[in-house]
Amino acid sequence: MDASDCLNAGPVCGCDGQVYDSDCDAYAVGVDTAAEVSCPPPQDHFRCGWFFCEVGVEFCVHVHGLVTDWRCDSLPPECDPDDGGVLDCSCIDMGCSCDQSPSGDITMTCLAV
């Protein structure tokens, strides 16, 4: 990822191991973003490639194929325990493989078609 891909999405993990409010903020100080670098997640967030998704609000989508893509999507209403839903892989129907961490964070891994 480089400055031409600036999406203003954040928070993100910089190649320097620091967390930035957005990829644009990282690029502004000359730092690229990377999924391979370890950054501590901000409070109430979990790692999703070089992004961090909000716990209990978003899930991670990892699409790989010719191009690898990471993004955070909003959890559907079926996942909201406050509305009678269940926060687990069954509440997201994407036709992808699903992994749920012990803390409940969900990552969907899909093949690009």
- Indicate if 72 and 96 belong to the same structural domain: yes
Contact 7, 17 (CB under 8 A): no
pLDDT, greater one: 51 or 9: 51
pLDDT, average across residues 30-48: 87
Does a structural domain hold residue 47?
no
Cα 36 from Cα 18, distance rounded (Å): 13
**Residue with token string 């325990």:** 81
Contact 107, 48 (CB under 8 A): yes
Domain that holds residue 62: 56-113
Locate 75 and state its tokens. 């959890």
Choose among 83, 88, 61: nearest CA to 74: 61
- Indicate if 67 and 104 belong to the same structural domain: yes
- Indicate if 112 and 64 belong to the same structural domain: yes
Cα 80 from Cα 100, distance rounded (Å): 15
Cα 72 from Cα 105, distance rounded (Å): 11
- Residue 7 has what pLDDT? 63
Look at residue 82 and tell me whether its pLDDT is greater than 70. Answer: yes
- Residue 2 has what pLDDT? 47
